[in-house]
Amino acid sequence: MRGPHNLWRLIRTLATMERTGAIGVVLEAVEAPRGVRVAARILGRPFKWLGLKGDPALPPVTRALTALGPAYIKFGQILSTRPDIVGDELSNQLKYLQDQLPPFPVETAKAMFAAELGVSVDEVFSEFSEPVAAASIAQVHKARLISTGEDVAVKVLRPNIERAFRTDLDAFYFAARWIEILAPFSRRLRPVDVIAHFEGVVKGELDLRLESSAAAEFAANTEKDEGIVVPRPNWALSGRTVMTIGWAEGIGLNELEAIDAAGIDRAVLGRRVLTLFLNHALRDGFFHGDMHQGNLKVALNGDLVVYDFGIMGRIDEYTRRVYAEILMGFIHKDYRRVAEVHFEAGYVPPDRDIDEFARALRAVGEPIFGMDASRISMARLLAYLFEVTERFGMETRTELILLQRTMVVVEGVARSLDSHLNMWEVAKPVVEGYIRSNVGPQAVLRDLAKTARVLARFGPKLPALAEAQLIRAGNPAVQNRPPLRSSLGPWLTAAGAAIFLSGVLVGWLI
């Protein structure tokens, strides 16, 4: 019965967008073609009466998304950081979704804390406030520890939130499968894989033990970084549905008037947001994956305060190098090199014309350089990028979805602080520094050392692996000779030792 249920869910989504008036606002904001607008209204109007009413006090889009549930709210949070795509008015309306949603009662939060940790709130805290922030998945209370007097944030998951997300995810999967069936050209975008990636991200956000772990790792990685503050979790008072973490004091990045009143330079702060994100993504391969204004504050001394670690991204070293080379190519307007990197990494099918791809990339990059950032239409740029990926048969890289999405969000946050900020100018020194350290002779030597150390660990297993391969190949000679463990063992072990020593030597030299 999941099929009919999911179909009903999607119909009700369209009906809710129509009933609240959201569908027209969204299509107008993203400058959708007239044909798309007409089709959406024709399809939505007959089902309008089936839509959810929502809170009439809210603007249309915010009203629709809050009525539809947490997964839709997440999508709205992302759009709230992109005034260049949806317009300033809609962006400001959607900021409501970041941390101003209706809270659940404080007594429910206290009961969940006691059920999770086996100790009452009154035994641990001298103060425990009403909710200070309420988002799509959890809400936060400010509390004070009896033992130390330290102020902390206590995050508690919304009751039954997992069931609500499961309902939405089932509908998204249903829609993705039918899109692949009815629109074969969409398969290169791998809609089902995209939803699977989103599901993995959401599951991580619904287990606060994983968020505590992410916060601890992120704090360790950024310990020596200037201009950033990362609260640390209290493991003794954290579990699956509850997390206690240091209190993040500061001004929210969506409070522009308060930031100006505090005398903080917004242009410097915008550059800091973008620079720190690039450093974490390239240097550490571990970055905050939900950097909208609701998860960022600025301290009075100008330091960026980062919190809410439910969505974190991780990329391997090879992907980081590819990403850095692509960014560097755009920065230096070397579109041929950008194209080559795409082909080398397998992002573009090998049967496509590399020169044509480079020419298409030039059409994407050239309008950005030399133009004031406030004049760039990101909506048009994204539309053209989509055309390029379709023309050259590029499939969606699910391992890069969170990185690309976060990059869009971070640029939106930075430009909300400074509308004249140019992402490429800010990125240049960060990417150049990474390239110098990680793409070149030193990187080659480090790679050789790592390879040697890995091979050395398998030295004792090489005889058995060789024997197994020969048996699999059906070599009759295997039956008539002494076991390889005894005949080749000493030689292979010696080879493993040599590999190990060479790895140690190379590692010491670099």
- Which residue numbers are catalytic? 290
Question: DSSP state, 100?
Answer: B
Residue type, 322: V
- CA 418, distance to chain mean position in Å, is 23
Please provide the size of the chain in residues.
Answer: 510
- CA 344, distance to chain mean position in Å, is 24
Pairing state between β 125-134 and 138-145? antiparallel
- CA 223, distance to chain mean position in Å, is 21
Q: Residues 6 or more apart from 429 whose CB is under 8 A from it?
A: none
Q: 152 near 246, Cβ under 8 Å?
A: yes
Sheet holding 125-134, edge to edge: 125-134, 138-145, 151-157, 242-246
Q: 247 near 152, Cβ under 8 Å?
A: yes
Residue type, 492: L
d(CA 446, CA 312) in angstroms, rounded, equals 27
To the nearest 10 degrees (0 to 180), the angle between helices 2-19 and 22-29 is 80
Residue type, 305: V
Closest by CA to 166, choosing from 6, 54, 16, 399, is: 6
Cα 186 to Cα 35, 189, 281, 364, 390: the distances in Å are: 19, 5, 29, 22, 9
Closest by CA to 3, choosing from 164, 178, 179, is: 178
Q: What is the DSSP string of 71-96?
A: HHHHHHHHHTT-HHHH-HHHHHHHTH
Q: 205 near 169, Cβ under 8 Å?
A: no
Three-class DSSP category at 131: strand
d(CA 309, CA 12) in angstroms, rounded, equals 32
Closest by CA to 276, choosing from 318, 305, 312, 255, is: 305
Question: DSSP state, 51?
Answer: S
Question: DSSP state, 311?
Answer: S
H helices of 335-377, where?
Answer: 335-344, 354-365
Residue type, 453: R
